[in-house]
Structure 1
């Protein structure tokens, strides 16, 4: 293992909580696809299957940041266990509805609660930040490692969701996703030593983390990246099917994920940059540029190579985005801030799947690669418009010092107020 990664795993408890995060993160890549596979197998109605998957995604967009906000206020253990229990119960009700033949509205009712699923990726990254907030280099390596874990989930998750539901029984995919969530959350929350300590109750004001200057820019960019992710999935499957090799789609998408994973591992070896806003802009531009070779792919082998190259910009962009969130958002709201970026990606994934499917039906898979290309151009445009906000970011150590000084000042002021209040009571 390269030295930066060896260094981060020398800390006690890190191997265990990142492994728990891997298990608990699998449902992100499994649940929506598992629902689609289950419903399509049972009813043959792809419209209903897509609508239910979209309901799950929309509920994640609405409920996910609220769960993370509660985590910042009350801690991971107190919030994650009941939140995951809601999701597990909702998935169980959804699958039970298909067995006993309950009316369709019950399916949507349970799907709307499934989005209470906690963002385990944000929880794990918050633990890394708590450990290495004073070491930007090690934190950069930790975020790079988590990008590799993300890619692992998105390679294995769809295969498990589809494979279980087709080879075993239709409900197996969603139930497996719920089981992964339950095990991952219980495993993670049992590790109290590395759990970030929530800030004092008086420091939790100020509204949502989304009000932090610069964060809406990152979320908007992540929406465009989400469109890229899902549209490449949909169009690539259609592209392979049009050429009579639908089974090759999994290999093509694996090449895309492999490119991202390899680049993410290499990116973690680079020194952390003070000009992280500029690096982030370059990464977003690289994502947009990577969509151009897809327009010229003339066969499956060429497309695999183009997807590998396109994927190489994804992980560095995600790593830099998380690093920016860690700089922008106050530490007492960090988990919510990280969840907002993943929520933006989830929203984009839902939009991209519907738009790209519509385009494939009308112009064919060859020309449908224009969808991720347009999304990449929009991501570049959004990043260019808002890049001035990021140029004003202080260096990592300087910002950490300012945050610590501000926190200390708040505590001193709080102590002074408490002392005066006690003095009045004594008088």
Structure 2
């Protein structure tokens, strides 16, 4: 089962940049949860926690595509060290402003700065895979599946450790973990120059840039936005549910169960050859993600919630892998990073309304009803996926895309 994964990791510097990106990505699973744990741990409302999380995620969503273009033009070794320093300043400022009960505008400003600076690591590492595996389209598919599994692994490790630190040691410790993993990981990744794509400034340019298939790309970004809202709402709801069950320190364990289910499904997905197109799998996966959210509002115990989240997680990774596979197959090679960044932007931007609305529902009605916000995000994703043209990847392949591969 793991032979294909082992194979891609033997390519030039692959295991090194993949490992560095794994560490650099841990803040993705920690930052919004860390903000919630910090604010509520200091005795302040879930509404404020959700609003600060929204500030962070909106900023990150707005900056991802811009950063992606800068990374393409100037190179990862130039851009990553600069944004890493700004990210560290913003995160420290957020903790300081919140703990010192400074005016709220300072905390919101610091959260915004940290969000703006944190780079789109998913796009960065997938661009590296595309670069080192040039001419090996099947290996690119396996590498993308591997990265989706890594994405889930960080949501198994990050929330669990961050929650324990924040509840058993100090409320700021969750964001502290994001700082001490994200900064070194990003700097090491920047230093690994042998595997990074050649920046545009160093390439021979010929002819105009190929056209972006905007309709399907924007539909996929819309699906990603709705899924991001679902993920964020479920995360905040799960923290509140654990608190209501007098087991807030186990919130990270529940979230880890969710991600563990996704990770198992992702590992299997990367080893299969699919007869259905990636666009069809996006539609089916989005529908299943909405369906698995239905039982959440009716669960009344930690043990049952853990099992329910684990089973629900099986729909996550296959759906996300299908989204990135559709982009990889349907977007011209010269604009692949931009296309990936747009879906990452959708996911990040969707976190804000999901977390904010879930926080409001929790403050007004409690934890269980807030899972309906997550259900709503899944329904919107399923409906949006219906607008995705079935011929997207096939038509794009005929005109030359990032990798001329069979549909998987």
Q: Counterpart of 1:250?
A: 252
C-alpha distance 253-178 of structure 1, shift in aligned 2 (>3 A): closer
3-state SS of paired residue (1:393): helix
SS at match of 1:386: coil
The Cα of 1:289 is off from its aligned counterpart by: 2.7
Q: Are positions 1:150 and 2:151 aligned together?
A: yes
Give deviations 1:22-42, integer Å, cap 9, x for gaps: 111111122233233334444
Counterparts of 1:133-282 in structure 2, within 5 Å, are: 133-199=134-200, 200=203, 202=205, 212-271=214-273, 275-282=277-284
CA change 1:291–1:225 in 2 (3 A) is same
Q: 1:83 to 1:207 in 2, by over 3 A?
A: farther
Q: Which moved more, 1:220-229 or 1:151-160?
A: 151-160
Residues 144 and 265 in structure 1, CA contact (< 8 A), matched pair in contact too: yes
Describe the shift of the 1:7–1:218 C-alpha distance in structure 2 as closer, same or farther (beyond 3 A).
same
Change (3 A) 1:201 1:212: farther
Equivalent position SS for 2:395 = coil
Tell me how far 1:117 sits from its aligned partner: 0.8
What's 1:336 paired with?
A: 338
User: SS in structure 2 opposite 1:118?
Assistant: coil
CA separation in 2, counterparts of 1:359 and 1:102? 26
2:324 & 2:105 partners in 1: Cα distance? 38
Aligned residue in 2 for 1:76: 76
User: What residue number does 2:37 align with?
Assistant: 37
| Pairs within 5 Å for 1:14-53 | 14-42=14-42, 44-53=44-53
Task: Give, in angstroms, the shift of residue 234 of structure 1.
Answer: 2.7
Deviations, residues 273-314 of structure 1 (Å, cap 9, x unaligned) = 583222322222222232334466465444333322211010
> What is residue 351 of structure 2 aligned with on the other side?
349
* Higher relative contact order, chain-length normalized (CA < 8 Å, sep 6+): 2
TM-score, reference length from structure 1 = 0.83
51-60 vs 385-394, which moves further: 385-394
Residue of structure 2 in register with 1:418 after alignment: none
Tell me, yes or no, if the aligned pair for 1:329 and 1:337 is still in contact at 8 Å: yes
State the Cα deviation string for residues 123-180 of structure 1 (Å, max 9, x = none).
Answer: 1111111223433321121111111211121222223333334444444333332232
Give 1:103 deviation, angstroms. 4.0
Provide the rounded CA distance (Å) in 1 between the counterparts of 2:207 and 2:310: 43
Looking at structure 1, the residues matched to 245 and 169 of structure 2 have their Cα atoms a distance apart, in angstroms, of 29
Q: CA deviation at 1:81?
A: 1.2
1:91 aligns with 2:91: yes
- The answer as to whether partners of 2:229 and 2:352 remain within 8 angstroms in 1 is yes
Query: Aligned with 1:340: secondary structure?
Result: helix
CA contact (8 A) 2:333 2:403 kept: no
* Change beyond 3 A, Cα 1:159–1:363: same
Q: Distance in 2 between matches of 1:297 and 1:45?
A: 24
Rg comparison, structure with higher value: 1
* 2:60 is the alignment partner of 1:60: yes
Aligned in 2, Cα 1:249/1:336: closer, same or farther, shift over 3 Å?
Answer: same
Decide which moves more: 258-267 or 102-111.
Answer: 102-111
**2:388 aligned partner:** 386
- Aligned twin of 2:293: 291
Q: Where does the alignment leave 5 or more consecutive residues of structure 1 unmatched?
A: 404-427
Per the alignment, in what secondary structure is the counterpart of residue 341 of structure 1? Answer: helix
1:49 to partner: Cα distance: 3.7
Length-normalised TM-score, structure 2 = 0.87
The CA RMSD over aligned residues, in Å, is 3.1
Q: Is the 8 A contact 1:165 1:171 kept in 2?
A: yes
Aligned with 2:386: secondary structure?
helix
Between the aligned partners of 2:112 and 2:322, the Cα distance in structure 1 is 32
Q: 1:242-278 deviations in whole A, cap 9, x for unaligned?
A: 4455455433322211110000000011025583222
Matched pairs, number: 402
